[in-house]
């Protein structure tokens, strides 16, 4: 079997023990068959009642704790997790499945492959998400800047999942041709844009923290629905459309 990076991943005939070190993948597997998850990160907040061993963060997973859980596979993400940590897990003989989507269609296909390998098939919620995102957007388009951090200010640049998702809702990222995926920005020196989109993660932008730095209308949106790929995609289109109105 091959993951998104075309790495060969050797899995047993039936995967019984999974450690997830990506919050959206934790939610995806839990929504499909939560009994297979034996470990997750401290940041894996969905579902809220998931009772498994916590194994540190996405950037600093506790490799020894993961090893002690004897997982059949660890599911990870090329952007969220450090290559050095994934190599350390592989060095212990642990199978690692890495996802790396940068568009909504890629995310849906990536989830389908990962869940088929780990759980044994595509769940109903994934079929529903495919249907939700199959319809093209045909309304008014707006140009936007999408900050993800302040002190220093950073924003979405090229080739990001969130940028592609917004484009399917009529929001075109003015920094989409940037040389970086997450460039630093000066709010006073940006290309012409219509609206600023402020997600509440990774930085917790809010109506009182963020909009005041820009001279254009701001829309505060759910960071989970903008940046996570998993069951949240079922409701993300309707929710974000309402928040962006």
What is the per-residue pLDDT for 196?
98
Mean of the pLDDT values across residues 78-93?
Answer: 97
Instruction: Kindly report the pTM of this predicted structure.
Output: 0.94
- The total of other beta-carbon atoms located within 10 Å of residue 174's CB is 17
Residues with Cβ within 8 Å of residue 208, at least 6 apart in sequence: none
Model pLDDT for residues 198-230, shown as the tens digit of each residue? 999 999 999 999 999 999 999 999 999 999 999
What is the per-residue pLDDT for 61?
98
Structural domains for the chain: 18-132 (3.40.50.1980), 142-244 (3.40.50.1980)
**Nearest-angstrom CA–CA distance, 129 and 196:** 26
Mean of the pLDDT values across residues 132-154?
Answer: 97
Residue 58 corresponds to which tokens in the numbers above? 């996405």
What is the per-residue pLDDT for 16?
97
What is the per-residue pLDDT for 105?
98
């Amino acid at each position: 079997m091959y993951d998104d990076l075309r790495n060969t991943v050797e899995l047993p005939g039936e995967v019984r023990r999974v450690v997830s070190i990506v919050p959206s993948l934790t939610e995806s597997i839990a929504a499909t068959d939560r009994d297979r998850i034996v470990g997750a990160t401290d940041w894996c907040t969905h579902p809220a009642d998931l009772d498994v061993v916590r194994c540190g963060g996405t950037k600093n997973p506790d490799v020894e704790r993961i090893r002690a859980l004897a997982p059949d596979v660890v599911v990870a993400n090329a952007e969220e997790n450090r290559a050095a940590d994934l190599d350390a897990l592989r060095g212990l003989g642990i199978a690692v499945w890495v996802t790396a989507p940068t568009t909504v269609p890629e995310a849906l296909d990536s989830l389908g492959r990962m869940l088929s390998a780990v759980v044994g098939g595509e769940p109903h919620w994934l079929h529903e998400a495919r249907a939700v995102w199959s319809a093209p957007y045909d309304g008014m388009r707006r140009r936007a800047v999408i900050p993800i951090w302040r002190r220093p200010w950073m924003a979405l640049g090229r080739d990001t999942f969130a940028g592609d998702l917004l484009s399917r809702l009529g929001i075109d990222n003015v920094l989409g041709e940037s040389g970086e995926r997450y460039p630093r920005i000066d709010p006073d020196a940006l290309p012409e844009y219509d609206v600023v989109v402020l997600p509440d993660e990774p930085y917790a932008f809010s109506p009182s923290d963020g909009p005041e730095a820009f001279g254009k209308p701001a829309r505060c949106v759910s960071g989970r629905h903008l940046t996570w790929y998993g069951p949240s995609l079922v409701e993300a289109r309707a929710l974000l459309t309402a928040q962006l109105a």
